[in-house]
Amino acid sequence: MRLFMTEFQKIRRRHIGLLYVGAWLFTFLWMAWAMSSMSPEEIDDQGYYYLLFSIPLINAIILPTILACVESRICDIELKGNTLKMLCTMQPRHSIYHVKLAISSLYLLIFCLAETAIIPFLGHCYQTSQPMPIKNVAIFLFSTYGVSLVLIILQQSLSLLSENQLFPLFFGVGGTFVGLFSWFFPNLPIRYMLPWGYYCVGVTLNMLYDEVTRTVTYYTIPFPTEIFCCFLIFGVFIYLAGKDRFMKKEV
């Protein structure tokens, strides 16, 4: 707990929370604007499904870059001041990795809960008559947090191992393009091969577009449990590899 609070003191002026607040506001305002342009019939029948389908797309666009910025802000304190060697003499090196990961995970959990709250809030504001699909909302929360946590582990490992934080940042920006690419080319396996595509994989809805009536119909699909478990195992591997490389890094 002492190390945890010390790390909080170090990042108190890093404005980590503002990055997440900005991402949340962008998502909220975009979804509010999009629902305001929908017809009452669409909102009544499929309001919740529209939110559950659209928010992961926004996450795929903005979260890889936001997470890269967050991890860079958290990890570059010791690197900029060249104090990592001194810090390692006062606390176990593995604790540096774990405390930063714990703080990042806490910030992420708060963000994911706040983002999930957008769904019932907007559904209530726009008075959708569709029953809220609790199971799909829970899967949305789980998949968003799981994918983002794996990306945090990846970005933190890169940030701690890189002397120049531009590389991790560009890596995160590249993840944004990969995630967006995976949405618009669903027939390609890229969404299963790269971690940023799993914002799309975790969506339990699909859509049919009728060109004649120009209407969209959403329907539920099964959650890919086996594929997602393999992805989480990949996250564990990234964690072990990143921590091992950090433990062996010369400071």
pLDDT at 2 over 80: no
Q: What is the mean pLDDT of the chain?
A: 85
For range 21-29, the mean pLDDT: 95
Q: Which residue has the higher pLDDT, 60 or 78?
A: 60
Q: In angstroms, rounded to a whole number, what is the distance separating the alpha carbons of residues 136 and 142?
A: 10
Whether 94 and 243 have beta carbons less than 8 Å apart is answered as yes
Letter string b/e over residues 43-75, b meaning 16 or more CB atoms within 10 A of that residue's CB: bebbbbbbbbbbbbbbbbbbbbbbbbbbbbbbb
pLDDT at 6 over 80: no
Q: In angstroms, rounded to a whole number, what is the distance separating the alpha carbons of residues 203 and 191?
A: 12
The reported pLDDT for the residue numbered 82 is 63
For range 215-239, the mean pLDDT: 91
Q: Which residue has the higher pLDDT, 39 or 173?
A: 173
Helix axes 93-125, 16-36, angle to 10 degrees: 20
Q: In angstroms, rounded to a whole number, what is the distance separating the alpha carbons of residues 47 and 213?
A: 19
pTM for this entry:
0.91
pLDDT at 41 over 80: no
The reported pLDDT for the residue numbered 74 is 83
Tell me the percentage of the chain whose pLDDT exceeds 70: 90
Position 100 confidence tier, pLDDT thresholds 50, 70, 90:
confident
Reported as a single tens digit per residue, the pLDDT across 105-138 is 999 999 999 999 999 999 888 888 888 999 999 9
